Structure 1
């Protein structure tokens, strides 16, 4: 793997973005010694980036040197707040700064992709690629993989508040699951984590490091792609800036956009591929009219969180600073769980909530969020300058059903706190300091609402008027260009997005190599 050589004029494949998807694609494609692969990452390399390796302190990475620093647009439904949306800017991308949760939701989530127009994309089609990626501590089963690049483990010695969540859920008559990625997802379970021997397992470590000896794989960091090279109706490469002015590199076979649900649509629009009205507004020549670029933006709203004062010192952080999750339905009539919660071995509160309550000392949180939100937003250009971030707006709570579900989520957390399992750990609630009802609960939701960091959908897969890529991830109307990241998901799965992005990238590699 070449990391310092001057870039050649052309490679067979140019992969834009060294994150969860890009590392997978570059590693898998370069298994063929007859092709050359170039991976370009805007951030630094992961070697020597010591802070990313420590699972229990991952939250300190947010807003730091390995984060793009994006922010959602101010939302009047959240009191005018602008919610930060962390995205990894380091080799491994968000898999290098996230909470390391490996969770794929339920089968219906992926069947919904096919129902939305993504032909051939369903749970049955994706399951082999989830399994291919995994080295599950429990060994191979019909649903789990063994021997794959990503080591997946559960907490061996869970923190008491993680164990407490399992006990509390059981007292309320909810299931306690052995595996959150098993046949059923409703209930409580210890988290599946991309953690091995106490260290984070990012896609950079799992996929790229083992490929280090391949002469046909070139990985360049600190290189920002600023546009696509389009000749007629074919993408022939990219423009990039490595600190020495604008340069170009050509892709003889294909250019593969893996820059994520924010940067992939942004690059398409900067290159003249998108809504013609928006492009012309910013003086960008229209190459391909694809009005769906940037539309269909989806994310999971999260409440940061319900905080409790602990009866005992919390002690050092363990695992990923959490360790257990819970899924349940805001309405028993729903076919699948829509609410999700996790524990936090410390304070979890927005600045607005922290300013209203005393959260000093030994405080922990149980944080609920909505995994099946109805609100849909969009990403739009702010400028034709690549250095200017786009407008990103998930339109949280614009659908009133989302507010009602999150209020129901608050109630369930207080139900859990009233069980014997948690009463043994909780001295009293601190933020909020009591069970809320009616308008109070709605106001707390608006002050506490943030993000799970699961932005998706902005280059949606399908064949309708707003579709951006087809079922082989090829951009409509452009030859030699595919998108393979969370942006192509037509429907956001009810889970953390790292696992589905990895599976999607595994399948993309198989499609490109003609193995499927």
Structure 2
């Protein structure tokens, strides 16, 4: 097929890619192509209906990736859902909108990501939002992403807010304000419709749909990126599939990678960008020595299986099936909260844990927001149709396990507070809180993912940094940028959707200024 060309080619039509397509095509003189491997999101009711998001996991709209098993997680493979559809994971996730603590972003700058402090990130966060409460010093209004809380929270969500103060955890009105420490109603990138149901507000809905009419913007679905075209130290285009055929699309200004923390490093590696020894082991020609590609993989671990029987009927599911969350500090916390828990309006089974889940059952899942274990992403071959090896190394570091033990204990303490006693809450676990070995065994069999993949092409200036923080350009290559969760150097204490959108907002401005 004949080669074609654009000023910008954005590879990956997910949370970041839709933002970039909007912002870069705002210049009518710049032609922009957005390439997405998956299908369109249009006409898929499960995507729009907030209550049906779980049905998308493992579906045709999910890449179907799995974490590699290790003894630390009882030899289990753990599914890591990633959106394979326009909008990416913003089209299949739980629609939770959190930024983390301001200290998270100052830690980015301290790690070498100069210019990415809280002070510089806040304007991007505010620009992306249309917060139901209106604009203030922390929140934005009128932005592309509609953000709301539940208009009728589920009783379990309300019990968390009422019970948290009994265990010394405050209630915070806005977890996206000055601090995220405490219990709070969930912030959703969703809106309540006239019939009272909640519907998803993905980046397609917020950023892409309003600008589809632009003549300089082209969106191409069902197109898999095969490799980058590198010539003379510059990325000049992308080889990708269209209708089953390989097509080369050239980029006059450059290529922006927005495939996410798994597929961005995989595409770089398949293109000969990465650690030389690793690439040669797969017979991939080394075109650019960059050993940090695919390293520093991070995700937040949670613990499934913390199911609770209720003697009070729970009623129908509301909103996204959740509704509130809580952040608090372990005994190991140095600054800010490191533990997290969220409610689930139905059971949350764990494959390695057997429980009787008949009757009215809900879950309160604990997790760790300041995990220190690090993993990697590595392609298995040069084929774009073979899933890469993804290894988060959950629980590899003892500090992570110690904190999760405390997180499990904190959830059991919460379930003993008056609001949960009023529900007749009975935890369906077979261990005593003081039996550390039993709790550790439960965690190893129940550890799961928050879906917060990040870090595999991190910002910085050291030898293992992949992108330059000043512009997000891949170090040593012209015409190639990364603008997704891959660039995050240290995982924030939050869901990663809002930070990724803010990164893409800033990236678009930096890239436009660089050409």
Question: Common fold, TM-score beyond 0.5?
Answer: yes
The Cα shift of 1:41 comes to 0.4
Greater alpha carbon shift after TM alignment, 474-483 vs 171-180? 171-180
The Cα shift of 1:332 comes to 6.6
3-state SS, counterpart of residue 32 of structure 1: coil
Does 2:7 correspond to 1:12? Answer: yes
CA distance in 1, matches of 2:63, 2:4: 28
Does 2:141 correspond to 1:142? Answer: no
CA distance in 1, matches of 2:434, 2:474: 48
CA distance in 1, matches of 2:111, 2:374: 15
Q: Which runs of 4+ in 1 moved over 6 A?
A: none
1:337 corresponds to? 337
CA distance in 1, matches of 2:468, 2:333: 34
CA contact (8 A) 1:359 1:431 kept: no
Aligned positions of 1:261-410 closer than 5 A: 261-331=261-331, 334-353=334-353, 356-410=354-408
CA contact (8 A) 2:235 2:477 kept: yes
1:196 corresponds to? 191
CA contact (8 A) 1:357 1:432 kept: no
3-state SS, counterpart of residue 238 of structure 1: strand
CA change 1:515–1:206 in 2 (3 A) is farther
Q: How many residues align?
A: 509
The two structures have a TM-score, normalised by structure 1, of 0.97
CA distance in 2, matches of 1:236, 1:467: 22
Does 2:158 correspond to 1:160? Answer: no
2:256 corresponds to? 256
CA contact (8 A) 1:305 1:368 kept: no
CA change 1:381–1:8 in 2 (3 A) is closer
CA change 1:366–1:432 in 2 (3 A) is farther
2:47 corresponds to? 52
Aligned positions of 1:427-438 closer than 5 A: 427-432=425-430, 435=433, 437-438=435-436
CA contact (8 A) 2:3 2:247 kept: no
Equivalent in 89, 98, 101 of residue 94 of structure 1: 89
3-state SS, counterpart of residue 78 of structure 2: coil
Equivalent in 99, 104, 108 of residue 109 of structure 1: 104
The Cα shift of 1:173 comes to 2.4
1:3 corresponds to? none
CA RMSD of aligned residues (A): 1.5
The Cα shift of 1:430 comes to 1.4
Greater alpha carbon shift after TM alignment, 316-325 vs 426-435? 426-435
| Residues 170-222 of structure 1 deviation map (CA, whole Å, 9 limit, x = unaligned) | 22221101111111211100011001122100001110010021111000111
Does 2:505 correspond to 1:506? Answer: yes
Structure 1: where are the runs of 5+ without partners? 1-5
2:485 corresponds to? 486
CA contact (8 A) 1:164 1:422 kept: yes
CA distance in 2, matches of 1:175, 1:366: 18
Equivalent in 37, 41, 52 of residue 42 of structure 1: 37
CA change 1:392–1:346 in 2 (3 A) is same
